[in-house]
């Protein structure tokens, strides 16, 4: 029996990103959030739990 293929993450960047030096964010398997450099699509991905990402976004918006 074969396992179904997992869908590729749908990477998104800010609509304000217009100079090519941006990060992209995607939902990953295991309820994780991935962040990567858009210039290095095959490069490293930082992984955060949903709670860690939520707290980060709240702090960015607050400050």
pLDDT tens sequence across 1-50: 444 566 789 999 988 887 778 999 999 999 999 999 999 989 999 999 99
Does any domain span residue 32? yes
Q: Is residue 30 part of a domain?
A: yes
pLDDT at position 63 is 80
Question: 45 in a domain, yes or no?
Answer: yes
Quote the pTM value: 0.77
Q: Is residue 17 part of a domain?
A: no
Domain with 57, as residue range(s), is: 23-62
Average pLDDT for 42-62: 95
Task: Tell me if 15 is assigned to some domain.
Answer: no
Residue 34 lies in a domain: yes
Q: How many domains does the chain have?
A: 1
Alpha-carbon span 25 to 60, nearest angstrom: 15
Beta bridge partners of 24: 36
CA distance linking residue 3 with residue 43, whole number of Å: 26
Q: Residue 25 belongs to what H/E stretch?
A: strand 23-28
């Amino acid at each position: 029996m074969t396992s179904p293929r997992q869908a590729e993450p749908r990477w998104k960047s800010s609509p304000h990103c217009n100079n090519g030096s941006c990060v992209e964010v995607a939902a990953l398997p295991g309820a994780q959030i991935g962040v990567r450099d858009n210039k290095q699509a095959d490069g490293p991905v930082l992984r955060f739990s949903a709670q860690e990402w939520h707290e980060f976004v709240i702090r960015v918006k607050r400050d």
